[in-house]
Amino acid sequence: MSIRIAIIAGTRPEFIKLAPLIKLIVEDRQFNLILIHSGQHYDRNLSLKFFEDLDLPNPAINIEVGSGTHAYQIGFLVQEIEKIILETEPDIILSQGDTNTVLASSLATRKLNKCFLHLEAGIRSFDKKMPEEVNRIVTGICSMYHFAPTERAGLNLLFEGVDRESIFIVGNTIVDSVLQTRELSETKSKIFKKLNIKNNLPIILITLHRPANVDIRENVKKFIETIKSLNNFQFIFPIHPRTKKNLINFKLYNKLENLENVIITEPLGYLDFYSIFSKSLCVLTDSGGIQEEALILRVPCITLRNNTERPETLEYGSSVLVGMDMNKLKSEIFKIKTNSEYLKGKSTKNPFGDGKTSERIIQIIKELYNKNLLNLDQSKLWSRIPNRNLIEVEHLKEPITVINYEIANRVKIQMLFNVKGAPCFPYDHKLIRNQYKLLLNSN
């Protein structure tokens, strides 16, 4: 019996982060893939180029939702995805990230009582004005299983009341993508020649597309003035269509185009983008994925946001938040210029994983399938009344693993707090010690 899996994706970062998983699924005879493109991104250099660069199979279906208001995109996609699920009858539906495509996929699936798997689950910026934050939370509610990239993301889900047994901390597939792209980019990309980039000035890569930044004229104006003043650097700015459209409307596009120290390009394919990124002094960005990639590539990241759903990048020391404060931005660039180790992060373990996240996900899906746990009717996860209470551990002669504690005491541990009161994810093999507090979920 093969597992019929529908993967729904629609934007640039989703193609990039799903590519390693899709490739494994295509090669694995236990899976039968239905690849669905929502059409949220439709320009060649935001969509087709990534299928070529990442060697992805053609989607079986393209919904072609196109652009529009959030209500339009989500409403149209929910209706179309419902039809597709009913027609193609997948066992499971999977999406990655936090776009309108992902929200619509999870909602349509949930309403049909089918099994939705969410990749990159549980990350939170705690900024509900950010459209993606609402998408993440609602998708979390609609998902049956959550593949969280980090322990912190897993904890966010636990604090929202998500059942621990439905959460798997697996890392982020972005590490798989970056590691698989390195060699290809070196051999295939000719972007330095194409853009006539001279290496005599340090390169600073820019990407901007968040509505909170680029939908506000004043923000873009001061940003352009700031980079104009930094004439000892070579800026390279692949412009997202949303940003370009706004710059034209704000009558600022020509101003940017005329700057001598800036090369403006259309959005780049992954191999070309990677080639410039890996050789840059630093990156200025409001992108989510680029914060992660900067950490992996050891390229300092100046994040033009006031918050981030990737706080691991701040803790690791590979990124700094400057918002739209242009003085801070300049000061960070000079710190990077004068100190070659600044914002390169720790050399310890990468918080986003080891490049084997896709393999882990495949393994978990197979195990769930073999135990018949992908079937909503069979799973108890959706209909349990939680009976929660907090206890303090005492009288242990020696530390005991979570799994052994659960078996011995016939309880389920939802969360645990260590002696300092810090919340920890109750991995099966985590050791429990005296004075730990356990939030039990016994039903």
Encoded tokens for 363: 């393994």
CA distance 182 to 19: 14
Cα–Cα distance measured from residue 86 to residue 94, given in angstroms and rounded to the nearest whole number: 15
Residue 131 contact among ligand UDP, ligand UD1, none, beta carbon within 5 to 8 Å by kind: ligand UD1
Work out whether 238 is an interface residue with ligand UDP (CB under 6 A).
yes
CB atoms within 10 A of CB 231: 12
Segment contacting ligand UDP by CB under 6 A, of 11-19, 86-94, 213-221, 249-257:
11-19
Cα 46 from chain centre: 17
Query: Among the candidate windows 267-275, 316-324, 373-381, 399-407, which touches ligand UDP by CB under 6 A?
Result: 267-275
- Minimum distance between the CB of residue 169 and ligand UD1, rounded to whole angstroms? 23
Distance CA 15, CA 56 (A): 9
Minimum distance from CB of 158 to ligand UDP (Å)?
A: 24
Judged by CB under 6 A, the number of residues near ligand UDP is 15
Among ligand UD1, ligand UDP, none, partner that 345 touches (CB below 5 to 8 angstroms by kind): none
Angle at 351 between CA 179 and CA 128, to 5 degrees: 110
Asked if 290 interacts with ligand UDP (CB under 6 A), we say yes
CB-based contact 235:263 (threshold 8 Å): yes
Among the listed residues 10, 13, 122, 351, the single contact to ligand UDP using CB under 6 A? 13
Determine contact, residues 325/207, Cβ cutoff 8 Å. no
Q: Is 7 helix (H, G, I), strand (E, B) or coil?
A: strand
Exactly one of 41, 146, 209, 240 is catalytic; name it: 209
CA distance 30 to 25: 8
Cβ 135 to ligand UDP, closest distance in Å? 11
The entry of ligand UDP, ligand UD1, none that residue 37 binds, CB within 5 to 8 Å by partner kind: none
State which residue, 166 or 189, has the beta carbon closest to ligand UDP: 189
**Which residues are CB-neighbours of 123 under 8 A, at least 6 positions away?**
98, 136, 148, 149, 150, 153, 156, 309, 310
The item of ligand UDP, ligand UD1, none sharing an interface with residue 270, based on CB under 5 to 8 Å by kind, is ligand UDP
CB 115 within 8 A of CB 374: yes
Q: Is 209 a catalytic residue?
A: yes
- Name the binder of 243 from ligand UDP, ligand UD1, none, CB < 5-8 A by kind: none
Beta strand residue intervals within 209-281, DSSP E: 234-238, 262-265
**Closer by beta carbon to ligand UDP, 230 or else 264:** 264
Q: Judged by CB under 6 A, does residue 12 bind ligand UDP?
A: yes
- When CB distances are held under 5 to 8 angstroms depending on the partner's kind, the choice from ligand UD1, ligand UDP, none that residue 268 binds is ligand UDP
Q: Which of 40, 156, 287, 357 binds ligand UDP (CB under 6 A)?
A: 287
Residue spans of beta strands (DSSP E) within 286-366: 301-303, 319-321
Q: Which residues contact 245 (CB under 8 A, 6 or more apart)?
A: none
Q: Considering the rule CB under 6 A, would residue 289 count as an interface residue with ligand UDP? A: yes
The binding site for ligand UD1 (CB under 6 A) comprises: 11-13, 40-43, 46, 67, 98-100, 131-132, 209, 241-242, 245
Minimum distance from residue 321 beta carbon to ligand UDP (Å)? 15
- Which helix (H) or strand (E) segment is 387 a member of? none
* Secondary structure letter of residue 72 according to DSSP: H
Residues belonging to the active site: 209
- Contacts with ligand UDP by CB under 6 A lie at 12-13, 16, 207, 209, 238, 267-268, 270, 273, 287-290, 293
